[in-house]
Amino acid sequence: MIYAANFKTNHTRKSTELYLNELTDKITGKKSEDRIYIFPPSTALDIYEGVFKIGAQNAYACANGAYTGEIGLEQLDEFDIKTILIGHSERREYMRESQDQVAQKFSFFQEHEFEIIYCIGEPLHIREKGFEAVMQYLLAQFEGIDIGYKNLIVAYEPIWAIGTGRSATIEEISNTHRALKKAINNKPLLYGGSAKPANIKEITTIAGVDGVLVGSASLDASSFAEMILA
Ligand code: 13P
C-alpha cells in the first residue's frame, strides 16, 4: 500500500523534523512493501533520513527564472526531491490552475523523470448528477496528461470529501476506482478525502485502491502511523 501525507499549509520546518522522527519511531513495524510519502510545505523541504520519500506539494514548470514566489527544479534538486503532487483540487480551485497549466506542469516534471502523484476529483454538484457525469468530469482531467508515464500514480480525491470528515462511501470509491483503473491502464490509484484511522481498513481493502492520500489525519504523526500500521 501507498500512504501519502499532504500537509498542505500546515507544519513548519521545525515541526516537520519532529514529526518525521516520531513517525520513523512509530512505524518500524510497517510492512516492507508499504511505501510512505510525505509532502511538507516547501519551507520544510530538506534531506531527511527515514523510510519515507519527501515530495513537493507544488513547483513551477521551470528549472529557475523570474517567477516570483515560485520554486522550480533547481530548488528541488538541492534536496534530491524527485516526487511531486500535480493537479490537486485546491490548486485548481484557489490558484486557478487550468487543465492546460496542470498538463504543462505534468509534461515538465515528466521530462525530468519525477514521480508524479496526479490528483483528480469532482465537486459535489457533479457527483449529484450521477456516475456517468462523474466519470466524464474525471476523464476530462486527463486531457494533456500522458497516462502511459511510468512514474505516474493517480490520486482520486472527491472534492466534497476533502477536509469535510465525510469520506466517500465504500460503494462510491469502489465503483469509481474500478472505472478509473481501466482508464489508466491499471496504474497505482490512491483514494483521498477524509481518510483517517477509523476508516483506513475498509478503504484499503477495496479492490482498485492501492493506497491513500491523507490531509487532516496525517498532520499528527501518531494518527498517520496508526493508519500505516492498521
Ligand atoms: P483530507 O484528508 O483532510 O480530507 O484531505 C485530503 C487531501 O486533500 C489530500 O491531498
- State the pLDDT at residue 56: 98
User: If you take atom 1 of ligand 1, which residue's CA is the nearest one?
Assistant: 215
User: Is 177 noted as a catalytic residue in this protein?
Assistant: no
Catalytic residue among 90, 97, 122, 157: 157
Name the CA dihedral angle for 22, 25, 29, 32, rounded to a multiple of 10 degrees.
80
Å from CA of 11 to ligand 1 middle: 15
Domain ranges of the chain: 2-229
Q: What fold characterizes domain 2-229?
A: TIM Barrel (3.20.20)
Decide: 192 in ligand 1 pocket, CB within 6 A.
Answer: yes
Decide: 117 in ligand 1 pocket, CB within 6 A.
Answer: no
> Taking the chain (230 residues) in consecutive chunks of 10 residues, what is each chunk's mean pLDDT?
98 98 97 98 97 98 98 98 98 98 98 98 96 98 98 98 91 98 97 97 98 98 98
Catalytic residue among 11, 88, 90, 177: 88
User: If you take atom 5 of ligand 1, which residue's CA is the nearest one?
Assistant: 215
How far lies 116's CA from each of 123, 130, 160, 214, in Å?
22, 29, 23, 16
Dist CA 81 CA 46 (whole Å): 8
Residue 14 in grid coordinates: 521545525
User: Is 17 noted as a catalytic residue in this protein?
Assistant: no
